Amino acid sequence: MSNIVAIVGRPNVGKSTLYNRLTETRKAIVDDYSGVTRDRHYGVAEWTDKHFTVIDTGGYVAHSDDVFEAAIREQVVIAIEEATVILFMVDVVTGITDLDDDIAKLLRRSQKPVFVVVNKVDNNQRLTDASIFYSLGLGEIYPLSSMSGSGTGELLDEVIKHFEPEDEDENQLPKYAIVGRPNVGKSSLINALIGRERNIVTPIAGTTRDSIHIHYNQFGHEFMLIDTAGLRKKTKVKENIEFYSVMRTIKALEEADVVILMIDAVEGIESQDINIFHLAEKNKKGIVILVNKWDLIEKNTKTTSVFEEQIYQKIAPFTDVPIVFTSVVEKQRIYKSLEAASKVYENKLKKIPTSKLNDVMLPIIENFPPPAVKGKYVKIKYVTQINASSPMFAFFCNLPQYVKEPYKRFVENKIRENFDFTGVPIQIFFRQK
């Protein structure tokens, strides 16, 4: 199941404002003039219990004038191929521009659901003005104000109707996605695993294809590999290589049970790697980090621990993640990576019996109860692991609203100390008993 909502449109219409609202990361910089470098362009959103990834294409636009229109057009084409739903954002204040017309022409030819989102409809006058956008020939329009949030609910109610059903695919093989920045060694790893050069597929423009799945069954390991490396689309605009690779990565990641995140030992962990890590974490995926090209590093006795420490600092607070130092070219620790992935997969499915959980956790809680709030004491009665596709624990107590984040982290750490959940995000809930 992978649901990607791509926001396309020309600069300054309000794409990143909507993105921030949907993902509730108000951290990204929104500025009055276009050309601002932004840091995060994709994130997880939720509407009526449905999770999806939102991608703000604006973050990938080249800012030199001669290429940006071409870049935007190409992004629309990529979004048509890769996204589940496309939000075409226009601006009621400026009306329809030539570039809007160009984009609309591309979108009219697509098979994917397209929503015309008319932004900056902050008042009733502008609501009347919005009707001009029917002339884009893309059907219904969705007037809203990204700034205030009005109208976004109506839009999302319609958007989620186009999502793929959440299939609880049981009895299926574990799915591992190998992800990482270009050149980190993904193709080399896959080739090493399957023992041959797999075909490098270059999809023909305009054709859609799903990520490639490779069935692996050797040396006691059986799983599906989701390959993002094999697909290399030729893009006319250099900046869109990143956009395309991010799209493929998000798709593979959402499909996977365990994400094998490859990092280049020479370059170290970079912001893109951290973004992918957090996306995997938010999607409750199992995670293994491979530090590849380890052969290129001069080593002494401390090198691995220094590397590990640097990575843990950057990915904190979720640091209970296996790190394997590999050299794909020298075939070092490739099977150890598989062992790590399969252990993480096991951990993701692990269910701790309620009696055992309480035997361990209740004495700990008794020794370190949640701090009292306004003279009121939180009494935790029992804890149970909820039946879900990734570990979730519910602590039943009298006053769940008084339990704050630090205490949740404390119980999570205690669970991790006592039961092996390495590589897997854990969710903790406090509920009324």
Q: By the criterion CB under 6 A, which residues form the site for ligand GDP?
A: 9, 11-17, 30, 32, 34, 58, 119-120, 122, 145-147, 180, 182-188, 229, 292-293, 295-296, 327-329
**Cα(45)–Cα(257) distance, rounded to whole angstroms?**
19
Please, what is the minimum distance in Å from the beta carbon of residue 196 to ligand GDP? 14
Smaller CB separation from ligand GDP, 31 or 210: 31
> CA angle 155-26-23, nearest 5°?
40
**Cα(75)–Cα(230) distance, rounded to whole angstroms?**
20
Q: Please, what sign has the CA dihedral across residues 330, 331, 332, 334?
A: positive
Smaller CB separation from ligand GDP, 188 or 342: 188
**Cα(278)–Cα(247) distance, rounded to whole angstroms?**
15
> CA angle 168-341-276, nearest 5°?
80
286: enclosing H helix or E strand: strand 286-292
Smaller CB separation from ligand GDP, 5 or 184: 184
Please, what is the minimum distance in Å from the beta carbon of residue 140 to ligand GDP? 19
Strand partners, 347: none
CB 423 within 8 A of CB 339: no
Smaller CB separation from ligand GDP, 61 or 344: 61
Closest CA to 337 of 152, 130, 193: 193
Smaller CB separation from ligand GDP, 120 or 285: 120
Please, what is the minimum distance in Å from the beta carbon of residue 395 to ligand GDP? 40
How do beta strands 221-227 and 175-180 pair?
parallel
Residues 6+ positions from 355 with CB-CB distance below 8 Å: none
Please, what is the minimum distance in Å from the beta carbon of residue 331 to ligand GDP? 9
Please, what is the minimum distance in Å from the beta carbon of residue 124 to ligand GDP? 14
Please, what is the minimum distance in Å from the beta carbon of residue 401 to ligand GDP? 33
Binding annotation: 9-16, 56-60, 119-122, 180-187, 227-231, 292-295
Closest CA to 354 of 389, 394, 400: 394
Please, what is the minimum distance in Å from the beta carbon of residue 428 to ligand GDP? 34
Smaller CB separation from ligand GDP, 28 or 415: 28
**Cα(427)–Cα(424) distance, rounded to whole angstroms?**
10
Binding annotation for GTP: 9-16, 56-60, 119-122, 180-187, 227-231, 292-295
**Cα(107)–Cα(209) distance, rounded to whole angstroms?**
18
Q: How far does Cα 289 stand from its chain's mean position?
A: 16
Q: Is the peptide bond before 317 cis (omega within 30 degrees of 0)?
A: yes
Smaller CB separation from ligand GDP, 22 or 279: 22
Q: Please, what sign has the CA dihedral across residues 56, 60, 66, 67?
A: negative
**Cα(71)–Cα(64) distance, rounded to whole angstroms?**
10
Smaller CB separation from ligand GDP, 200 or 205: 200
Give 86: exposed, middle or buried? Use CB within 10 Å, 0-12, 13-18, 19+: buried
Please, what is the minimum distance in Å from the beta carbon of residue 72 to ligand GDP? 11
